[in-house]
Structure 1
Amino acid sequence: MYRLFGIIYALAGPTLAGILITAALTMNMVDTKSMIYAAVVGFVAALPIAWIVARQIDQNA
């Protein structure tokens, strides 16, 4: 399951970080600090999401 978690996290982390960076840019937060915070929040938020999805896939497989 850890391998599956790693694969899902590798896809979900950058995706969520990109979404949050795009949202920050849309709100006219163009400073470096906001971009870094958005990226970090995206990568951290992807951890439980990837874990839950990997667990669901592993249980149903």
Structure 2
Amino acid sequence: MLSLATLLYAIVGATMAGILVVVALVSGYDTLSYILMAAGLGAILALPTSFFIAKAIKAAE
């Protein structure tokens, strides 16, 4: 399951980081520090999300 979660993290992490960067930019937080915080938060939030998705995929098999 760890290998599946690792593969999913590459996709989920980039997606969540991108979404939060877009939200930060649309909200008017357009300095580098806010953009980096949004990207970092997306990467951190993607960790449990990728494990949850991997667990759901394994349960469906």
TM-score bucket (shorter structure): over 0.9
TM-score (norm 1): 0.95
TM-score (norm 2): 0.95
Q: How many residues align?
A: 61
Q: Which runs of 4+ in 1 moved over 4 A?
A: none
Counterpart code for 1:22: V
Structure 2 gaps, min length 5: none
In structure 2, what is the Cα distance between the partners aligned to 1:3 and 1:35?
A: 29
Q: CA deviation at 1:6?
A: 0.6
Counterpart code for 1:56: A
In structure 2, what is the Cα distance between the partners aligned to 1:12 and 1:60?
A: 19
User: Percent same amino acid among aligned pairs?
Assistant: 33
Summarize the alignment of residues 10-49 of structure 1 with structure 2, pairs less than 5 Å apart. Answer: 10-49=10-49
**Structure 1 residues 28-55: Cα deviation after superposition (integer angstroms, max 9, x where no partner):** 1110100000000000000011001101
